[in-house]
């Protein structure tokens, strides 16, 4: 078996969502230099997340509406398709 391929320690780690003020404690092997004092008074390694279920649009229901018509018109202008040409199709 190869040496140094497996993580050293499977330990409790706090994952914190930077955009949603949400954190959870779980076990992980992730490497981190930061620490945080958790609700139980103990200090745990801290891993900062850019996005989690607390801030992801799929889970929060705050989807961004995409202007499809505007994108189609922009495509037509870019590639020179005119309304008359499209009416013939």
Is position 2 within any domain?
no
Please tell me the predicted confidence (pLDDT) of residue 63: 59
Please tell me the predicted confidence (pLDDT) of residue 8: 74
Nearest Cα neighbor of 55 from 14, 86, 12, 24 is: 24
Is position 5 within any domain?
no
Please tell me the predicted confidence (pLDDT) of residue 88: 58
Is position 4 within any domain?
no
pTM over 0.85: no
Please tell me the predicted confidence (pLDDT) of residue 81: 62
Domain hosting 69: range is: 11-84
pLDDT, tens digit only, all 89 positions of the chain: 677 777 778 899 999 988 788 899 999 999 899 999 999 999 999 999 877 777 766 656 665 545 556 777 777 788 876 555 555 55
Counting the structural domains of the chain, the total is 1
Please tell me the predicted confidence (pLDDT) of residue 77: 80
Is position 89 within any domain?
no
Burial of 14 (0-12, 13-18, 19+ CB in 10 A): buried
């Amino acid at each position: 078996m190869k040496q140094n391929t497996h993580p050293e320690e499977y330990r409790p780690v706090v994952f914190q969502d930077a955009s949603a003020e949400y954190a959870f404690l779980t076990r992980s092997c992730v490497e981190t230099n930061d620490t945080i004092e958790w609700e139980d008074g103990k200090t745990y390694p801290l891993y900062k997340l850019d996005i989690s279920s607390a801030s992801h649009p799929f889970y929060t229901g705050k989807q961004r509406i995409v202007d499809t018509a505007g994108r189609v018109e922009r495509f037509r202008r870019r590639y020179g398709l005119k309304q008359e040409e499209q009416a013939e199709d």
